[in-house]
A and B are shown apart, each in its own frame.
Chain A
Amino acid sequence: MTENTIPMTSSIVIEPTMFELSSPGRTGVTFPQPDVPVSDLPKTLLRKELPLPELAEVDVIRHYMHLSKFNYSVDSGFYPLGSCTMKYNPKINEDTARLPGFAFSHPLQPIESVQGNLALMYTLQEWLKEISGFSAVTLQPAAGAHGELTGVLIMRSYHASRGDTKRVKMLIPDSAHGTNPASSGMIGLQIVQIPSDKNGNVDLAALKAECDDTVVGLMLTNPNTLGLFDENLEEVVKTIHACGGLVYGDGANLNALLGILRPGDAGIDLMHFNLHKTFSTPHGGGGPGSGPVGVTAALADFLPTPLVNIVDEGDDEIPPLYGFVNPTKTIGRVKAFHGHFGVLVRAFTYIAMHGPEGLRNISEYAVLNANYLQSRLRNTFRVPYDRICMHEFVAEGMVAGSDVRALDIAKRLMDYDFHPPTNYFPMIVHEALMIEPTETENKVTLDAFADALIKIAAEAKTNPELLHEAPHKTPFGRMDEVKAARELVLCCWLPEDYANS
């Protein structure tokens, strides 16, 4: 146990760990005594000790209540985290996902006994197809990056199925999310980075120079991570298709396009959805997400197995029977079972409550909010690619005549009770502050946020130390990240003298 005991430290403890709160003999939940004869346990296969913490239910609740108060969240305030679409999460979604008919169903039940689940999944597939303009959708991938992995495997399998095995290059713009190169690298593809031009679009000349018969495809985020819709989209798609490649769409920024443009219509071959962003299933403090993938008809046979479909049409008297089918050239299964079903229920609820006009409103107001903030802030912070943006924009977190950096500005925003924007991404903008307000914020909130940033810019000149040492009003200050990485204290156990405590 020596390696995992709590090191001697003089730091101030704000909330003890559950191990420190533990006291011998307590328990939060008890279970009935066995109602069957007791069998012998396998003596040679038993563990020696199980030093889990011992807490009463009230201890556990208070512990987590205390912890929850240290978190900033969408429910507590404005969270303009670029690229993350931190919109309000309707409460009804949480209730529908927890309906006993869903929550207590086992993924291996006979299909006849889970027709409600399967009908919901089938309908959601149909809706996502309609929203995106694709011919087929898998709901299996667990998150955006998992959808990307699914997508790049489909792209390679498609080429291989045509005997076209020399394609090894994936083209990825320099503004892409890190998951794009990571997903392609994970399956052994070569990554070729494509620069952006002065307007923030993919540099067409650089793209064309890389296009040859070794290209698997292009991974395109559109709107890109600058929040800009690529003005040359049609030319980009044509260029890739001309060399035999496929265009993968990173759906992270789909919140700008609902009812505005269907990626499938614009020639994108496949794309993942982030249900936890666009369709407002919550982020859960880092997950679970859900990353369905939509594809054109040419790629439908390569989708992960199984897909939900109608396996018996039924008739006037008998309703259709939903079940599973295996795509003929499937890349295989990308996870166990059928995807993050509980997340799918939330997205289904959200889409059902919006309808076609409501979905378009989402994107219209997301884009309105971003442009409004851009207008209010562009005279204070330089916007390097300054034009009408989509659902987010990127400013430079620098103030003339001051040494403050984007990080300082981000930390100071916490003192004004705002979550900071994404900073230092995309990497093509110096000291990037990437701001995505989403559609669920009103003008009063946006004005308060803009006012705070303008005030911070003034503070940067008059009192830069205030920013360097921010935040001041949060329960915790800046962290010693070097200490964390050097000492690598990654877990704690019960204190050594616990039994006597």
Chain B
Amino acid sequence: MTYIPHSPKERDAMLATIGIKTLDELFKDIPAKFRFPDLDLPPALTEMEAAAELAGYAGANETTQSFVSFLGAGVYNHYIPAAIDHILKRGEFYTAYTPYQPEISQGTLQAIFEYQSLMTLITGMEVSNASHYDGATAVAEAVNMAYAHFRGKRTKMVISPTVNPQYRATLRTYTQGMGLTLVGDDAHANLDGGPEIIEKLIDEDTALVIVQYPDYFGCIYDYTQLAESAHAAGALFCVAANPTALAILKTPGEMGSDIVVGEGQPLGIPMSFGGPYLGFFTTRKKYIHKMAGRLVGETVDNRGQRAYVLTLTAREQHIKRERSTSNICSNQGLMALASAVYLSLLGQTGFRQVAELCYHKAHYAADQINKLKGYNLCFDTPFFHEFSVCCPKPVAEINAHLLEHGIMGGYDLGQDYPALKDHMLIAVTEMNTREEIDLLVEILEEISHD
């Protein structure tokens, strides 16, 4: 009865009003043979006991607080300013529903409107929706949108093998049975060729070209030429971007993208073992009617006050049902709020500072590691805050050794790319000090001698 407030007297009065004597009488429609099953679950805990129990589970993990971490691969350990969580914990935000009643939801609506503004600004695009589940599903929704845009007449989706393997796996799941061909989705492909390799895959049947920026290996390319080639073939061009990198790098909008999506986790959202995160989705105004997801627009109320409403809702499933581009309903409202608070706290100075710190520290780490005997940087391409290193020993072995020294090493790329056996993807953020980087380098050197 923990959160059920009825007194026995109240309960009995309510039963009397209904005209029944017991709670069981409410369930006569339930087939008797299935009714009231005994659930084999542990007995209820008090709050005090539950707090201890959960602390036990949490305590059984190692974390980036107990270890120095160089693990990234799509999820990054950034500093999260204290003010963010204080705002997220406001019951007015986190215990509200989707803002379908705008008169009493202006807090959520204006916050989403500002989030949309921030996302268009950092990506260099024109419109943003109110979010998707994560970066992977945002990529899948970009494909849905392109498919709808060409009314199913173009069936080829070109996706670079250097897009996050989890995103590509998600896309394969979403598109199964749709009659689409995913071209370029090949872990055995040449991974060192840059945009030119992708360019060769585009043809007149291509609906969408998808690349990642920086790509999965941390490399940054100017995709302007690739976007032009996609457009020349009549296709749309989509970039899956890391938002932190966009604080300093040329925007995908400037390169000519039609859709820019990505994982918003780096914007003030805890790593939390994989979620909840934030899939951001931005596009050009001309494609807005095919874009999925909620959208907030500015208007006025009947008192002449500036206000915000969910708009163009006729695109969405609750109106359009089976003819909608996507089935999305719940999105990542609270995570979108977190990212907007993050960007408003950092502002242009702080956000750029974070990106530059990541860049400088990653380049320092890469330089030091590259000097070590047996270790080489895999790609001779500019990179942002993550880079791939060819190692003298299996990555699992190196990581086990690093763990003994309190370091969580990088991601083992051989798990996803057979050709990259013994390759480690190392991420460095503003959270890593020079001492930590030096320690990593020292241990890596030690390992190569063993």
Contacts and interface: CB of A to CB of B under 8 A. Distances in A.
B104 A70 contact: yes
A170 to B, nearest CB: 9
Contact of A144 (B330, B347, B348): B330
B170 A334 contact: yes
A185 B321 contact: yes
Nearest to A371: B18
B92 A51 contact: no
B373 interface: no
A36 to B, nearest CB: 4
Contacts of B297: 484-485, 487-490
A246 interface: no
A74 B95 contact: yes
B390 interface: no
Contact of B344 (A60, A229, A288): A60
A13 to B, nearest CB: 5
Contacts of A73: 91-96
Interface residues of A, number: 208
A182 B322 contact: yes
Given A28-B83, A46-B248, A55-B347, A480 B299 contact: yes
B130 A286 contact: yes
Given A47-B246, A117-B273, A182-B324, A187 B330 contact: no
B63 A104 contact: yes
Contacts of B25: 388
Contacts of A289: 330
Contacts of A27: 346-347, 349-350
A3 B306 contact: no
Contact of B176 (A26, A184, A229, A332): A332
Contact of B273 (A114, A145, A390): A114
A367 B28 CA distance: 12
11 contacts: A71-B108, A72-B101, A101-B61, A103-B270, A105-B271, A107-B273, A115-B61, A145-B317, A342-B276, A348-B54, A368-B26
Interface stretch (B133-141, B154-162, B183-191, B202-210): B133-141
Contact of A153 (B173, B324, B348): B173
A60 B90 CA distance: 14
Interface string A109-129: 110011111011000000100
A72 B360 contact: no
B364 A39 contact: yes
Contact of B41 (A4, A131, A142): A131
Interface stretch (A205-213, A256-264, A394-402, A455-463): A256-264
Contact of A341 (B107, B272, B307, B327): B272
Most buried by B among A42, A483, A490: A490
A356 B354 CA distance: 48
Interface string B243-261: 0001111110010000000
B107 A69 contact: yes
B103 A104 contact: no
B275 A286 contact: no
B84 to A, nearest CB: 9
Interface residues of B, number: 206
A128 to B, nearest CB: 10
Most buried by A among B36, B37, B137, B353: B37
Interface string B1-23: 11111110011011101110001
Contacts of B62: 105, 109, 113-114
Interface string A371-415: 110011000000000001010000000000000000000110010
A368 B347 CA distance: 51
A205 to B, nearest CB: 20
Contacts of A107: 75, 271, 273-275
A166 interface: no
B300 A480 contact: yes
A419 B341 CA distance: 27
B153 to A, nearest CB: 15
Contacts of B104: 70-72, 414, 419, 471, 474, 476
Interface in B19-65: 19, 23, 25-31, 34-47, 50-51, 53-65
A17 B304 contact: no
Given A11-B304, A352-B45, A113 B61 contact: yes
Contacts of B312: 485, 488
Interface stretch (B113-121, B193-201, B230-238, B442-450): B113-121
Interface string B111-155: 101101110111010111011011111000000100000000000
Interface string A15-47: 101110010001111111011111101101111
Contact of A331 (B64, B92, B128, B173): B173
B327 A490 contact: no
B106 interface: yes
Interface string B401-443: 0010000100100000000000000000010011001000000
Contacts of A120: 57
A300 interface: no
Contacts of B81: 28-29, 57
B220 interface: yes
Most buried by A among B51, B111, B329: B329
Contact of A335 (B14, B134, B222, B340): B134
A44 to B, nearest CB: 7
A186 B292 CA distance: 12
B422 to A, nearest CB: 17
Contacts of B91: 73-76
